[in-house]
Amino acid sequence: MTEFKVTPWEVEGDIDYKKLIEQFGTQPITEELVSRIEGLVGEVHPFLRRKIFFSHRDLDWLLSMYEKGKPFSLYTGRGPSGHTHLGHVLPWIFTKYLQDTFGCDLWFQLTDDEKYVLSSNLTLEEIDTYTYENTLDVIAMGFDPEKTKIFSDLHCAKSLYRHAIQVAKKVTFSTAKAVFGFDNSTNIGLIFFTSMQSVPAFLPSIQAGKKVPVLIPCAIDQDPHFRITRDVAEKLGYYKPALIQSMFLPSLEGPDSKMSASKANTAIFTVDPPKDARKKVLNAFTGGCQSLAEQREKGGNPHVCTIFQYLYILFEDNDDELEKRKQRCLSGEEMCGNCKKYLADKVEEFLKEHQKRREKAKGMIDDFVISD
Amino acid sequence: MTEFKVTPWEVEGDIDYKKLIEQFGTQPITEELVSRIEGLVGEVHPFLRRKIFFSHRDLDWLLSMYEKGKPFSLYTGRGPSGHTHLGHVLPWIFTKYLQDTFGCDLWFQLTDDEKYVLSSNLTLEEIDTYTYENTLDVIAMGFDPEKTKIFSDLHCAKSLYRHAIQVAKKVTFSTAKAVFGFDNSTNIGLIFFTSMQSVPAFLPSIQAGKKVPVLIPCAIDQDPHFRITRDVAEKLGYYKPALIQSMFLPSLEGPDSKMSASKANTAIFTVDPPKDARKKVLNAFTGGCQSLAEQREKGGNPHVCTIFQYLYILFEDNDDELEKRKQRCLSGEEMCGNCKKYLADKVEEFLKEHQKRREKAKGMIDDFVISD
């Protein structure tokens, strides 16, 4: 059995997502839920069909509210500790789908304060730079400027802190310790921070002056924060936010390596020159055999193959095409080099497009970003 | 031996100030220090002469800096959990003396966030009201509007939070636990709060873009916060703030009673109608005997007498006058009724004057209060 660990600040090992649902006490995304969404909006995103978003809390309740004519707002975020990589973009793509199909407002939080109190070496000025750089990536996703607010904790502290202390007053150290594994050596900034991450779940209600349902699309590692948010929500007069939670995009270096900003080859960053990104894909870990001859004979292993995972998760929406590729790999018809090139083309194309939109985003900051 | 307890949130029992200096590890205000101040500014406030400000940290260093032509800024504050009483005014009177004689800038913090996370029943809206009411009292003290900034944590959170997280990052839960006696049931807002109380000690330096010495006049119960401030100061590139610390004004109901906003008769509030305050003084605990006859024979005990303490601490600057009154009490010549009337007249006069200035302060908010 492989051990794994998932907290908001550490994701390690070969993650057993079924087990994580049990550990965290969330619910799996069922076929029934997927069909219900299809019935409501007509279109089901591949992330749902393929259970990339695999876990939820109260999504059924949220859909019932929607069916009764009660719209919901979206809340997601990003910790600006480095450049954006494809793993970060994954939930944003889904968030855009939700905004487009359900017509939701979106509150996008940049947790610059968290990244400062957590980091051993980043200065506030460096974090400010990443806040700006990450903002460009968020805008480049194509969110509706009429319905989207992007804000950083430090730049909106006056608006957020007043609500954060209302959360903080309801959370004991004991709870924070149990949820996050804090100990005596944890700094008091990190202990407090979860209060700031709770606030955007309440901002739609605060703005509207009435209870507004909220859905938080995010990677599963953020669940501990929102357990606290959900615990305090009703005490403060709000609905508990619903959650829909994704898997992680694996490291390009394979299952034993962690995708991280400090190891540039493990991930594709949105600011990577497309040619460099191509090289990363061509050097990625696959499920292929040592020699071409062996692979022709035995076939490859798509289940451990980074290339296949990137196609499955992000770059091949066509189910038939993907299935054919898988079968050709298993039977030894397809060689890794071809798959790599196939993905590399798609990655290059994505980055070229994204980087164009990212440039344009520089002139759109004021359409999206709010500040005290 | 009477037990006593002094923390920023609890002051209980008959306080042994000498012992407190040992417990807290501060320094006593010596005759030498008083003379040094007299030599520098010519005028020594009765609070120094009488050691109402009895304790300090690094005051000698601060005076040396001043002698070398390096001016210092002042920082003090108030937790707006109720109306201002005379005990709160005591350090403000001294702060005004320091501003006038040393020509200092003053940063005055209202810790509305602290009072919210600490209180079991106050709403944020009630605290906002006290923030305003307390501000009027601060302005009424007569601080120099050109040199004084009054600000609340909630209204200046954008400016303060960015610096507070820099403090917070350097403070572990272990330290906060040791300094404040926190435990698992402490809420994470109160755990974080001390970071916000540290920031104004650094604001003069931040504003000037260079290290500025800071003196914090305050009651001794605030020392734990500033131990943390002093611990992190140099790590963040600032001077450690110096402190000068006062005793507490005792409760009008005598040494076993705590002066508190919830027991209106224990304290004189700046908003008390002067006639009501007069009644409180006339009902105060004294060191007198059961009967006039007994008192004429045995004399009174000024050492436990609230009236004498109020005169000594706040209302009788004339040392000879005070000494005569003491001797007349000890010898049985003076009856409590006379002393009560003597103090009541002074209290009434103080309140009438203060309340006039307090009314005027309503038109001066913008001259003093800063906000994000």
How far does the CA of residue B27 sit from the closest CA of chain A (Å)?
A: 29
Confidence of residue B8 (pLDDT cuts 50, 70, 90): confident
State residue A262's pLDDT score: 64
Q: Is A180 on the interface with B (CB under 8 A)?
A: no
Of the candidates B356, A132, A129, B134, the residue with the CA atom closest to the CA atom of residue B126: B134
Helix axes B188-198 and B173-180, enclosed angle (nearest 10): 90
Which of A154, A170, A191 lies closest to B162 in CB terms?
A: A154
Do residue A208 and residue A290 come from a single domain?
A: no
Q: Is the pLDDT of residue A3 over 80?
A: no
Q: Is B307 on the interface with A (CB under 8 A)?
A: no
CB A80 within 8 A of CB A130: yes
The average pLDDT across B115-128 equals: 94
CB B220 within 8 A of CB B55: yes
Segment (H or E) for A69: none
Do residue A309 and residue A333 come from a single domain?
A: yes
pLDDT tens, position by position, A163-173: 999 999 999 99
Q: Is B169 on the interface with A (CB under 8 A)?
A: yes
- A318: in domain: yes
Segment (H or E) for B216: strand B214-219
Of the candidates B87, B116, B75, B320, the residue with the CA atom closest to the CA atom of residue B200: B75
What's the rounded Cα separation, in Å, for the pair A229 and A218? 14
Q: Is the pLDDT of residue B59 over 60?
A: yes
Which of A161, A166, A182 lies closest to B173 in CB terms?
A: A182
Q: Is the pLDDT of residue B231 over 50?
A: yes
State residue B261's pLDDT score: 62
Of the candidates A61, A63, A92, A59, the residue with the CA atom closest to the CA atom of residue A75: A92
Q: Per this entry, what is the length of chain B? A: 372
Q: Position A281: which residue type?
A: V
Do residue A203 and residue A273 come from a single domain?
A: no
- B301: in domain: yes
- Partners of residue B190 in chain A, C-beta under 8 Å: 168
Q: Is A283 on the interface with B (CB under 8 A)?
A: no
Do residue A60 and residue A155 come from a single domain?
A: yes
Q: Is A155 on the interface with B (CB under 8 A)?
A: yes
- B199: in domain: yes
CATH label of the domain that carries residue B319: 1.10.240.10
Q: Is the pLDDT of residue B45 over 80?
A: yes
Q: Position B260: which residue type?
A: S
Q: Is the pLDDT of residue B1 over 50?
A: no
State residue A6's pLDDT score: 83
The answer to which of B105-114, B141-150, B212-221, B287-296 has the lowest mean pLDDT is: B287-296
pLDDT tens, position by position, B185-205: 999 999 999 999 999 999 999
Do residue B300 and residue B333 come from a single domain?
A: yes
Q: Which stretches within chain B are classed as H helix?
A: 17-24, 31-41, 46-49, 59-67, 86-102, 112-118, 124-140, 157-168, 173-180, 188-198, 203-208, 223-233, 274-282, 292-298, 306-310, 319-330, 336-361, 365-368
By percentage, how much of chain B surpasses pLDDT 70? Answer: 97
pLDDT tens, position by position, A234-289: 999 999 999 999 999 999 988 766 666 667 788 999 999 999 999 999 999 999 99
- A290: in domain: yes
Domain stops at, among B248, B282, B300: B248
As given in the structure block, the two tokens for residue B290 are 């059961």
CB atoms within 10 A of CB A85: 22
What's the rounded Cα separation, in Å, for the pair B295 and B288? 6
The average pLDDT across A58-78 equals: 98
Burial class (CB in 10 A: 0-12, 13-18, 19+), B210: exposed
- Partners of residue B235 in chain A, C-beta under 8 Å: none
State residue B266's pLDDT score: 86
- A354: in domain: yes
Do residue B204 and residue B320 come from a single domain?
A: no
The average pLDDT across B279-290 equals: 93
- A254: in domain: no
DSSP assigned state of A186: S
C-alpha angle A51/A53/A57, rounded to 5°? 120
CB spacing of A174 vs B195 below 8 angstroms: no
What's the rounded Cα separation, in Å, for the pair B281 and B339? 10
pLDDT tens, position by position, A140-161: 999 999 999 999 999 999 999 9
Q: Is the pLDDT of residue B257 over 70?
A: no
Which of B161, B168, B182 lies closest to A173 in CB terms?
A: B182
- Partners of residue A80 in chain B, C-beta under 8 Å: none
Do residue B169 and residue B315 come from a single domain?
A: no
CB A33 within 8 A of CB A7: no
Structure-model confidence comparison of residues A258 and A102, the more confident one: A102
- Partners of residue A168 in chain B, C-beta under 8 Å: 117, 187-190, 192
Structure-model confidence comparison of residues B44 and B5, the more confident one: B44
Do residue B242 and residue B268 come from a single domain?
A: no
Is pTM, for the whole model, over 0.90?
Answer: yes
* Strand spans (E) along chain A: 4-7, 10-13, 27-28, 53-57, 73-78, 106-110, 148-152, 214-219, 242-246
Q: Is B258 on the interface with A (CB under 8 A)?
A: no
Q: Is the pLDDT of residue A1 over 70?
A: no
CB A14 within 8 A of CB A1: no
C-alpha angle B167/B151/B186, rounded to 5°? 50
The number of domains in chain A is 2
How far does the CA of residue B131 sit from the closest CA of chain A (Å)?
A: 14
CA nearest B119 in A: which residue? A169
Domain that holds residue A283: 264-359
Do residue A166 and residue A56 come from a single domain?
A: yes
State residue A329's pLDDT score: 95
Structure-model confidence comparison of residues B3 and B51, the more confident one: B51
Do residue B237 and residue B305 come from a single domain?
A: no
Helix (H, G, I), strand (E, B) or coil at B85: strand
How far does the CA of residue B370 sit from the closest CA of chain A (Å)?
A: 13
A356-365 contact pairs (CB < 8 A, 24+):
A357/A139, A357/A140, A357/A142, A358/A136, A358/A137, A358/A139, A358/A140, A358/A270, A358/A271, A360/A140, A361/A135, A361/A136, A361/A137, A361/A139, A361/A140, A362/A136, A364/A139, A364/A145, A365/A135, A365/A139
State residue A156's pLDDT score: 98
- A256: in domain: no
CB A347 within 8 A of CB A268: yes
Which of A157, A185, A188 lies closest to B195 in CB terms?
A: A188
Do residue B202 and residue B299 come from a single domain?
A: no
CB spacing of B187 vs A168 below 8 angstroms: yes
CB B111 within 8 A of CB B252: no
Q: Is A192 on the interface with B (CB under 8 A)?
A: yes
CATH label of the domain that carries residue B151: 3.40.50.620
What's the rounded Cα separation, in Å, for the pair B201 and B73? 9
- A258: in domain: no
Do residue A272 and residue A239 come from a single domain?
A: no
